A = this chain, B = another copy of it.
């Protein structure tokens, strides 16, 4: 089992101008055979930071990705173009290619993360102690979720009704998450944590996986050591697409990242959402 840093390692190709990298997409970061969108975003976020260089721009601040094709685990190529390297922010175009296809197109703004919180409209969710929250198994609902071996996710028992056929109807999952290898979270891995929970549509009774179409993550602070708290909420399901919002707090209760995504969702004909209980 490779760690997160190995799974997002970048090897410069050619003359070392840091515009093209080889990467190895690690199947550990997958769900039912599909690589996790947050993992791919983290890979591109890391490439953007490397491309701009560390001085004044050490972290991803805002990263937006559109998903064109689902890449298979294995070799991939990352291409980056620094569009601007400003004083406080730089912007980078980053794309992922694998199996002869353009798989992900992203734009990443990189910069420094510092300064305290002035106003917080997103207070942290309250969770039972991690020991009281069951860890999600690698065996998912009808398919394997290798991601659950590399990301330790301990969900609040109150949102686990879907696992026994009794979704709450609230459209919200929440729990603790950490690198299973013991590595501490950092701004690059927050891009992954912001898409690491199961789809919150499970809590509405929709059992299918939801392929991410677009994912944007805003990183707000460097996380403190320790597991992060993640809340994934459905906002709206219509026209075969779902809009989900994900907030991530560090172990001190500080909001450190927010993800917003639009994903595909297949609702069987005639199925109604779970009734709120």
Contact = CB atoms under 8 A, between A and B. Distances in A.
Interface of A: 61-62, 64-66, 68-69, 83-84, 86, 89, 91, 93, 102, 105-109, 113-122, 171, 204, 213-214, 216, 218, 220-221, 233-241, 243, 255, 258, 260, 262, 267, 273
Q: How many chain copies?
A: 2
* Most central of A89, A116, A221, A233 by chain B CB within 10 Å: A89
Contacts of A93: 93, 105
7 contacts: A64-B66, A68-B83, A83-B102, A117-B236, A119-B273, A122-B236, A218-B262
Contacts of A115: 238-240
A235 B120 CA distance: 7
Contacts of A267: 118
Contacts of A114: 239
Given A64-B64, A204-B119, A218 B238 contact: no
A255 B238 contact: yes
